Amino acid sequence: MHISKHVAFVVSLCLSRTLADFTGPTYPPPLDLSSNSSLVTASWKNLSSQLDTYLNGKSSAAAASGNVTFSIGMFSMHDPAATKHQYHHTSPGVAHGSSGEGTRSVDGDSVYRIASVTKLFTVFAGLVDMKDEDWNTPLTKIIPELANFTKTHEDGSPVYTTAWDQITPWALANQISGVARQGVAALDLLFAAVGDPNATATLMKEYGVPFANASDLGTCLDIDCTVSAYIQGVMGQPPVFEPWTTPAYANNGFILLGIAISRLTNRAMEDMYPSTIFKPLGMTSSFTSAPTDNATISRSVVVGVPADGFAAGNGLALSSGGLYSTTNDLARFGTAIVNSTLLSPLTTRKWMKPTSHTASLTYTHGAPWEIMRYVHPEGTPSAGKVTDLYTKLGDSGYYNGHMVIIPEYGAGFTILSASTNNTLRAAVTNAVLDMMAAAVIPALEGEAAQQARHNLAGTYTSGNSKLNSTMTISLSTDDIGSSGKNNGGYGGGLRITKWVSNGTDVLASDLFANLPTRLLPSLPMKEMRSQPGQSPRQVAFQATVNPQTASYTAASAAGIEGVIGPFTGSAATNSDWLTVDGAHYDDLGTNLIVFDLDPQGYATSLTPAAMKASLQREREK
């Protein structure tokens, strides 16, 4: 069916009246996280004070929490000095050397086990060393034992037979392969009967299970068995789900991923981590096994019996949760991820995306990202806005670890913790993470807003007085109205408050209809090749009149008319992507605004692309 350009143009304008933001930043990322004038510095000092006050308190809860040793820290690709923001707490047990070895006071170079944060390193190593097509190769073409099993079980029940020919390394990396969670017999209830036949009767009485022989568990009883024995043990396990159905956490999947990566690259994982990641990034305090030299042991965080915790062997579980690292080394790793130090920027952008939803509206999953959708709370610079946190948690034995990366700020934070009290350790770790999120994320947003005001806000005017073209940009501090504030869903950010082009009031035209017009970053700052008349640095924005809310219920609370449910509400929350770049003039988008920047990031001019006229920034009076 033919639709005239005029009709299509009008339709795009009508749609754009009710739609919402893109995913991503409201402002260019903050560059100053460490100076005394930075909001991030002030917020971190406040966080440290809060932790001091609580941990030094007299309550029983504070006393219990004090028994968890932990280290937290920040990092940023834009401000290397952000790593000075650290806080360390040494429990009485560690301080008194109750384990018999290890550090007595933790700092940024203290060595912890990082548990399942290891999984992030495993995927990263594969991304660096493997070919794209390797990720989508069925396991049956990588592991011959699985091919033989699949061939001999073609008629097996899909309920009890894993479809190994449908599972790829990428499915394993995304925790969406559907394989059984655990792969070694030591985690089976029946393992209690190994060497103790009487234990079976106890299991039968306690759990109501039928009699079974411990010999049924096979030869791979723990993570120290051979690769061949491990594969023989897991290949007949029933699946939990069909491949690519839903995320389901599986340590077994990451052991298999490590095996697959090793076979595809012809390199052992214990060799790959140091050569592919640690050495190139200067991570001199990261290890694939417990350190044995006295100097490193003396700065290691050892809790409980060393052989049961810190120094416990990894075996086949190395790729799932066996690495050791420090706060400073994790900062180097996190910075390398957001800075695309070892991967291309394109690969990084493709990797840092969700693969599947979970049942939660605020939690999605990637490879192996555990993505939390943080909603900025009331009273913060962008209340109601959604910011995606790309995280990887770890919890194993006596140790916890979390890596949190926030792509829109090019920054992140980490926590490492240790205690023999697993329940207490997990509770304290998560509570401190919540405190960090509440302190750091609004501060990053506020710092970015202040920076945008300084670098970009102002009045820009054509140097040709006959042209009569000008644009004024200001910073709005309105929030988004996530909890009942009736501001129509128009959030804070950079706004165009005046736009005259060739004597025409552009904001009053059909393009913007006098609606609040915000500028949203679309292309980050780029170093340009030197061309006559071209700035060496440019950053692009899209002008939008769309309200922004985190959900259709928030849209209703914000006073956006016509929101009844998810379909009417989607037009107020989630469809800017549908209409972006909808209006063009002479093949250039009417919403595209390009800033020219000096080496410090300060805008000297801007160009509304479709108007083809550079406007020079006026000096502040």
pLDDT one-digit tens code per residue, 459-498: 999 999 889 999 999 998 654 433 334 344 455 789 999 9
Q: How far apart are CA 125 and CA 128, in angstroms?
A: 5
| Cβ 391 vs Cβ 371: under 8 Å | yes
Instruction: For Cα atoms 339, 269, 279, give the angle at the middle one, nearest 5 degrees.
Output: 45
pLDDT tens-digit map of 130-172: 999 999 999 999 999 999 999 999 888 999 999 999 999 999 9
What was the pLDDT predicted at 359? 93
Q: How far apart are CA 25 and CA 47, in angstroms?
A: 24
What type of residue sits at position 289?
S
What was the pLDDT predicted at 559? 73
What was the pLDDT predicted at 350? 97
- Please classify residue 358 by burial: count the beta carbons closer than 10 Å to its beta carbon, then call 0-12 exposed, 13-18 middle and 19+ buried: middle
What was the pLDDT predicted at 574? 64
Q: How far apart are CA 372 and CA 413, in angstroms?
A: 14
Look at 297-306, 421-430, 566-575 and tell me which has the smallest mean pLDDT.
Answer: 566-575
Give the rounded percent of residues in the chain with a pLDDT score beyond 70: 91
What was the pLDDT predicted at 318? 96
Q: Which of 397, 56, 437 is nearest to 223 (CA)?
A: 397
Q: Which of 431, 403, 444 is nearest to 89 (CA)?
A: 431
Per DSSP, the three-state class of 273 is helix
* Phi, psi angle pair for 434, to nearest 5°: -60, -40
Q: How far apart are CA 19 and CA 98, in angstroms?
A: 60
| Cβ 392 vs Cβ 106: under 8 Å | no
Name the CA radius of gyration of the chain, rounded.
28
Mean pLDDT confidence for 593-602: 94
What was the pLDDT predicted at 484? 36
What was the pLDDT predicted at 399? 97
pLDDT at 5 over 60: no
What was the pLDDT predicted at 480? 40
SS (H, E, C) 535-593: CCEEEEEEEECCCCCCCHHHHHHCCCCCCCCHHHHHCCCCCHHHHCCCCEECCEECCEE
CB atoms within 10 A of CB 29: 24
Q: Which residues pair with 405 in a beta bridge?
A: 390, 412
Mean pLDDT confidence for 78-92: 97
Q: What is the DSSP letter of 238?
A: P
| Cβ 122 vs Cβ 342: under 8 Å | no
CB atoms within 10 A of CB 108: 17
Q: How far apart are CA 593 and CA 208, in angstroms?
A: 69
Per DSSP, the three-state class of 256 is helix
pLDDT at 458 over 60: yes
Of 220 and 367, the structure prediction assigns the larger pLDDT to 367
pLDDT at 16 over 50: no
Of 222 and 590, the structure prediction assigns the larger pLDDT to 590
pLDDT at 10 over 60: no
Residue 527's pLDDT band, with cuts at 50, 70 and 90, is: low
Per DSSP, the three-state class of 499 is strand
pLDDT at 616 over 90: yes
Q: How far apart are CA 264 and CA 123, in angstroms?
A: 13
Of 438 and 18, the structure prediction assigns the larger pLDDT to 438
Mean pLDDT confidence for 424-434: 95
Question: Residue for token digits 């006559």?
Answer: 532
Of 185 and 115, the structure prediction assigns the larger pLDDT to 115
What was the pLDDT predicted at 469? 96
Tokens of 241: 């789900």
Residue 72's pLDDT band, with cuts at 50, 70 and 90, is: very high
Q: What is the DSSP letter of 477?
A: -
What was the pLDDT predicted at 133? 97
Look at 20-34, 78-92, 152-166 and tell me which has the smallest mean pLDDT.
Answer: 20-34
Provide the mean pLDDT of the chain. 89
Q: Which of 309, 303, 331, 333 is nearest to 321 (CA)?
A: 309
End-to-end CA distance of the chain: 56
Question: Residue for token digits 């692009």?
Answer: 540
What was the pLDDT predicted at 481? 38
Mean pLDDT confidence for 509-524: 90
Give residue 379's region: left, alpha or beta (phi > 0; psi -120 to 50): left
Per DSSP, the three-state class of 244 is coil
| Cβ 87 vs Cβ 72: under 8 Å | yes
Q: How far apart are CA 539 and CA 527, in angstroms?
A: 9
What was the pLDDT predicted at 560? 74
What was the pLDDT predicted at 528? 52
Question: Residue for token digits 């926030």?
Answer: 406
Mean pLDDT confidence for 522-542: 72
Strand boundaries in 12-126, DSSP class E: 69-76, 86-89, 112-113
> What is the value of pTM for the model shown?
0.92
Tokens of 420: 């023999």
| Cβ 149 vs Cβ 235: under 8 Å | yes
What's the Cα-to-Cα distance from 144 to each of 108, 131, 147, 256, rounded to whole Å?
44, 20, 5, 13
| Cβ 416 vs Cβ 399: under 8 Å | yes
Residue 74's pLDDT band, with cuts at 50, 70 and 90, is: very high
pLDDT at 572 over 80: no
Tokens of 573: 């929350």
Q: Which of 196, 235, 244, 193 is nearest to 216 (CA)?
A: 193
| Strand duo 584-585 + 588-589: pairing | antiparallel
Tokens of 168: 């790829």
Q: What is the DSSP letter of 92?
A: H
Q: How far apart are CA 351 and CA 415, in angstroms?
A: 23
Look at 39-43, 262-266, 381-385, 602-606 and tell me which has the smallest mean pLDDT.
Answer: 381-385
pLDDT at 126 over 90: yes
What was the pLDDT predicted at 18? 30
Of 81 and 206, the structure prediction assigns the larger pLDDT to 81
Of 483 and 553, the structure prediction assigns the larger pLDDT to 553
Per DSSP, the three-state class of 140 is helix
What was the pLDDT predicted at 563? 82
DSSP 301-359: ---S-GGGTTT---GGGHHHH--EE-HHHHHHHHHHHHTTSSS-HHHHHHHSS--EE-S
